[in-house]
Structure 1
Amino acid sequence: MIRVREFDPGTDRAGAEAVERMCEVGPSGTMSLFTDLLGDPVCRVRHSPAFLMLVAETVDNNEIVGLVRGCIKTVTCGKKMSRDGPRSYSPIYTKVAYILGLRVSPFHRRMGIGLKLVTQMEEWFRENGAEYSYMATDIDNEASVRLFTGRCGYSKFRTPSILVHPVYAHRLPTGRHVSIVRLSPAESELLYRRKFATTEFFPSDIDSILRNPLSLGTFLAVRSDSYRWSGVDDFLSDPPESWAVTSVWDSKSVFRLEVKGAGRIRKGLARASRAVDRVLPWFRIPSVPDLFRPFGFYFLYGLGGGGPDAVELVRSLCRHAHNMARSGGCGVVVTELASCDPLREGVPHWKRLSCAEDLWCVRRVADDYSIGEVGDWTKSAPGETIFVDPREF
């Protein structure tokens, strides 16, 4: 007999962490969730506007055998013509819920525990006014895909790419004739709302994200030989021909990852590459950091831009973030983009560490069946870009 209830941080922490450790995330040989730095399994969602964590436990001995996290927020699901002009659009918002961190002990699988956790979480979503629920999983995770698309009624929705780049022992040059400006939270919010508000999944509380202590700053890249920064108002009223922007999130302070399945020879070669890189940094050897023990990472969100040099400016921002991660003691830099995003070419990454298709599935959970301004969002075609909330990565 299994019962599902709300997580109690006073009594359930050890049991929840034990389940986390037993459940690898990601295919063999890639990154997998290791442990929570803060010792608080709910910390990955506590930065969201509304969140909940549920656990499944055995009735006879109160052993925690499963858990799931969920959060609710308001995001952009489409756009409509604005009164400001013929080419102006305003966002269409909807209240969505996100399921993450579904874990079931390997010794208690195929018993319907995952379904119970998801079903009860969805009840909380409906009670709090969510219209849609979505989740993300590796496209090769057959058990998860089967549960959500088969038994829970979710539809395959989007397939963004997770791009991972290791942090070397040497610094990376940000490029000639490139100026990188750090924006204040107020300037960042103004830019994001003006330029990205109609991007799918753009959070209406972007100000809360930008002012969160885990957000390490927003950085704008422009050509220094053709544009001089004079403030965000001037930038928005008369933008340069090319520009790019990104924000950096400190995931290292929330949880850590590790790579499993590597043999002794591979570990030895990685160790040798780091040693040479430290001694001869001017050679700029693409050394492999120590990813075989718990390591942290920085996550790039809000990555975007425009103009003929946008790809090159994105590359400069990624190198700047790499240097930040190097100073911060991180093992990798991670970002997630729509698979067809044209700026993806500017994001350096290693294919072996990256995930080409991170499957997002969605379903409508609202009790009423009235369709909003965008129609049935679950049936909408994907766009070129998508906004990935760092609080849910």
Structure 2
Amino acid sequence: MMAVNEQVRIVIREFNVNKDCRQVEEVERRCEVGPSGKLSLFTDLLGDPVCRVRHSPAYLMLVAEIVVGEESRGIVGMIRGCIKSVTCGKRLWRNNHDFPKLPHQQHLPVFTKLSYILGLRVSPHHRRKGIGLKLVRKMEEWFRENGAEYSYIATENDNQASVKLFTHKCGYAKFRTPSILVQPVFAHRVKISKSVTIFKLTPTEAETLYRHKFSTTEFFPKDMDSILNNKLNLGTFLAVPKGTFTCHWPGINEFLTNPPESWAVLSVWNCKDVFKLEVRGASRMTKGLAKTTRLMDRAFPWLKVPSVPEVFRPFGLHFMYGLGGEGPLSVKLTKALCDLAHNLAAESGCEVVVTEVASCEPLKLGIPHWRKLSCAEDLWCIKRLGEDYSDGSVGDWTKSRPGLSIFVDPREF
């Protein structure tokens, strides 16, 4: 029995990979993500609790531990955070003698040091005791110590507990509402339009294209090269109308010098090797109907039955990011790239393909997705932590108006 004078404390400390993995996994299993009474989404981190932030430039994982006297009674919560430099705005650069090769006027990105909170979990039996708030505040201390100017989080709009914690208690403000679009992977391959030609770019070519065309897009990461050269990056693909180039890919420099009227680009990230998801709470009837659609899809692939993938057991996914393009055919070209990503996911044994885009993204019309699996409004909340450390000044980013596009970092999905 616990002695009367023994003090019960909640200790927030850094995650210890040598002794905390089992307990952290147990808390993850108890914390299903999803509204009460509905289908819930369970995340399996494949035995590596820091895998979702490990690829970021700087990261930290904290745990909340119950301590009675001097004895640990177990981990009841955790939080992950990372820091990077991203684009928060743009400024007009006028050409001078130091940069003779630049156009007379050009918009250059303004970078700021941004921190991101993800994976906040508190065991169901220990909620409403201030543990989540303590974890957030301790993580924000680390952010400030490392020079982060802003912190942001992503949560579901209808997750009232999370929204209340961050907006009412932690001082975050609602900032952006991007859409998460989910497309099931069918048993049959999706036919890619014959009027489209798709090239696979090298990481160097992809970086050149992204920096040239999208470096002023909100949330564009300064370390884009690290993402494109990561082993989880499956490639960057560029689509143009068939016949745009007479023989073969002319190279990135020629493309940027004389770009076609219409083109589109996207990259694919392998989330399957980082984590797996599982939908829980479905009835036997729902599972049975889903299985029937898959059997029909396999037996009669020419019918192209819209089958429901096996999402009621752990499944993997591919994430499409860096979507962009120009011209009157850019939506059609985006659709072709998404079809290619679908077939890549099918070859890898994934059940869904996912992307996240700004709610007003023009290319959204070309992204196949199922509404029932997608989230029309993912909520991003932001907070200013300290002084302005950005490369140039754009004022208070938290008060800026949203643009047409955002860049979603696959390392943080």
With structure 1 as the length reference, what TM-score do the two structures score?
0.97
Q: Which residue of 1 aligns with 2:239?
A: 221
Deviation of 1:389 after TM superposition, in Å, equals: 0.3
What letter is aligned with 2:32?
Answer: E
- Counterpart check, 1:3 vs 2:11: yes
Deviations 1:246-274 (A, max 9, x none): 00000000001111222112211111111
User: What is the 5 A alignment of 1:1-393?
Assistant: 1-27=9-35, 29=38, 32-37=41-46, 39-60=47-68, 61-83=72-94, 84-85=102-103, 88-228=106-246, 229-366=249-386, 368=387, 373-393=393-413
Give SS of 2:135's match.
helix
- Percent identity between matched residues is 62
| 8 Å Cα contact 1:79/1:90 also seen in 2 | yes
| 8 Å Cα contact 1:31/1:353 also seen in 2 | no
| 8 Å Cα contact 1:30/1:353 also seen in 2 | no
Deviation of 1:153 after TM superposition, in Å, equals: 0.3
What letter is aligned with 2:82?
Answer: C
Deviation of 1:376 after TM superposition, in Å, equals: 0.2
What letter is aligned with 1:177?
Answer: S
* Structure 2 unaligned residues grouped into runs of 5+: 1-8, 95-101
Deviations 1:141-180 (A, max 9, x none): 0000000000000010000000000000000011121011
| 8 Å Cα contact 1:67/1:103 also seen in 2 | yes
Deviation of 1:88 after TM superposition, in Å, equals: 2.1
Give SS of 1:388's match.
coil
- CA distance in 2 between partners of 1:87 and 1:246 (Å): 28
Give SS of 1:350's match.
coil
Q: Which residue of 1 aligns with 2:99?
A: none
| 8 Å Cα contact 2:25/2:49 also seen in 1 | yes
| 8 Å Cα contact 1:23/1:105 also seen in 2 | yes
What letter is aligned with 2:222?
Answer: S
Give SS of 2:133's match.
helix
Give SS of 1:117's match.
helix
What letter is aligned with 2:235?
Answer: G
- CA distance in 2 between partners of 1:100 and 1:234 (Å): 41
- CA distance in 1 between partners of 2:207 and 2:104 (Å): 25
| 8 Å Cα contact 2:318/2:353 also seen in 1 | yes
Give SS of 2:292's match.
helix
- CA distance in 1 between partners of 2:112 and 2:339 (Å): 35
What letter is aligned with 1:79?
Answer: K
Q: Which residue of 1 aligns with 2:3?
A: none
Deviates more, 1:229-238 or 1:134-143: 229-238
- CA distance in 2 between partners of 1:139 and 1:374 (Å): 28
| 8 Å Cα contact 2:149/2:388 also seen in 1 | no
| 8 Å Cα contact 2:39/2:282 also seen in 1 | no
Give SS of 2:380's match.
strand
Give SS of 2:115's match.
strand
- CA distance in 2 between partners of 1:214 and 1:33 (Å): 22
Who wins on radius of gyration, i.e. which is larger?
2
Deviation of 1:31 after TM superposition, in Å, equals: 6.0
Deviation of 1:285 after TM superposition, in Å, equals: 1.2
| 8 Å Cα contact 1:30/1:352 also seen in 2 | no
Give SS of 1:319's match.
helix
Give SS of 2:181's match.
strand
Deviation of 1:370 after TM superposition, in Å, equals: 8.1
- CA distance in 2 between partners of 1:279 and 1:82 (Å): 60
Q: What is the number of equivalent residue pairs in this alignment?
A: 391
Q: Cα gap change, 1:95/1:30 in structure 2, threshold over 3 Å: closer, same or farther?
A: farther
Deviation of 1:36 after TM superposition, in Å, equals: 1.3
- CA distance in 2 between partners of 1:304 and 1:183 (Å): 15
What letter is aligned with 2:42?
Answer: L
- CA distance in 1 between partners of 2:276 and 2:149 (Å): 32
Give SS of 2:253's match.
helix
Give SS of 1:76's match.
strand
Deviations 1:332-363 (A, max 9, x none): 00000000001001000001110111100001
- CA distance in 1 between partners of 2:245 and 2:263 (Å): 10
| 8 Å Cα contact 2:199/2:239 also seen in 1 | yes
Give SS of 2:376's match.
coil
- CA distance in 2 between partners of 1:216 and 1:359 (Å): 28
Deviation of 1:227 after TM superposition, in Å, equals: 3.5
Q: Cα gap change, 1:285/1:370 in structure 2, threshold over 3 Å: closer, same or farther?
A: closer
| 8 Å Cα contact 2:113/2:389 also seen in 1 | no
What letter is aligned with 1:15?
Answer: Q
Q: Cα gap change, 1:87/1:354 in structure 2, threshold over 3 Å: closer, same or farther?
A: farther
